[in-house]
Amino acid sequence: MKIIVTGSSGLIGSEAVRYFGKKGHQIIGVDSNLRKYFFGEGGDTSWNRKLLQELPIDFSHRNIDIRNREEVLDLYKSEQPDATIHCAAQPSHDLAAKIPFDDFDTNAVGTMNLLEANRLHCIASPFVYMSTNKVYGDAPNEIQLKELERRWEYDDPGYINGISEDCRIDQCKHSLFGASKAAADIIVQEYGRYFGMPTVSFRGGCLTGPQHSGVELHGFLSYLVKVAVTAKPYTIFGYKGKQVRDQIHSEDVVKAFEVFIENPHTPGAVYNLGGGKENSASVLECIDLIKEIGGYEVNYSLSEENRIGDHICYYSDLSRLRSDYPNWDIRISLSQIIREMITAEEQRLSETLS
């Protein structure tokens, strides 16, 4: 099988390259290292691309910006892939407000370019879109909560398993990032429903893992581990540090892609994809786990001002995905995720110092 992976040097894209490449598939990676443009040197993913190119797999890299419609159309015309895994994005809430055109052109227009190229040249091939829970805006903040010692928690029995796909996405505040990703999410659904294409939007929680190039404006757990290992200061924005997120390892994400590609359930399908309740934790609880697992203290300060559109408590209800694909489930625990991330960061620090 020939698979196009966009954002192939990023966290989820590179995991997809490794996973499907090791299974013998031909992988075409599309990545122009926009993350470096968005976040500076700290967001540079060229190191990851070089690692992928050294692997004994059938992988080729294309330095294509998905905003370039002609190049995207030419790629699909020449390659006609059997599947697309679309992970390329501008991923930051805060940065989107500073670069609104770049944000929308990357997240919404870039996705449209890929979908239309897919429709014109390989309409029957599955199209997997890595969406985000930010399409729900701050609507989850309307759910009744209870404040515990180290976290917020839902105080409504209707949300015992977390946020389902029925949560509304309109008439709430998203951040411009959330809005551009929602636009792409809807168009992915529409290409599925209108043209009958096998498309899916996976609305991710906190996607993470040891290959994550976390920065302050994106990739909270990766960045938190980085500052812990390197003894740098950390700022928690709002909600007393008790805001809750569900962490999912990149490998579990990619395995969800696989089960859909093998058996597209419904054209225009939508699934929440996060760590679920079992992998949920507040910022303070993550700080506790980093100390417990790695022995690192985090030098943090609390800011009273929260980020615009930020969730107070969010973890994914995985019931629909588990029902449609019973062979898929969360396999990597939060503790294991943190352990792997600490080891990877220690290794990177050692290489930098040597």
pLDDT of 92 reads 84
Percent of the chain with pLDDT over 90: 85
At 251-273, the pLDDT tens digits run 999 999 999 999 998 999 999 99
User: To the nearest whole number, what is the mean pLDDT of the chain?
Assistant: 94
Please tell me the pTM assigned to this model. 0.94
Confirm if 221 and 244 have CB atoms less than 8 A apart. no
- Segment 158-177 mean pLDDT: 96
pLDDT of 309 reads 75
What range defines the domain where residue 302 resides?
2-353
Rounded Cα distance between 173 and 134, Å, is 10
Percent of the chain with pLDDT over 70: 97
> Would you state the structure tokens that stand for residue 81, as one six-digit string?
């892939």
CATH (domain of 37): 3.40.50.720
- Segment 42-57 mean pLDDT: 90
- pLDDT over 90 at 327, yes or no: yes
pLDDT of 215 reads 66
Calculated CA dihedral for residues 275, 281, 287, 290, nearest 10 degrees: -40
Contacts of 175 (CB under 8 A, 6+ apart): 93, 94, 96, 97, 134, 307, 308, 309
- Total number of domains in the chain: 1
At 23-34, the pLDDT tens digits run 999 999 999 987
Rounded Cα distance between 34 and 257, Å, is 23
Give me the amino acid identity at 287. I
Query: Environment class of residue 193 by beta-carbon count within 10 Å: exposed (0-12), middle (13-18) or buried (19+)?
Result: middle
At 297-315, the pLDDT tens digits run 999 999 988 887 789 999 9
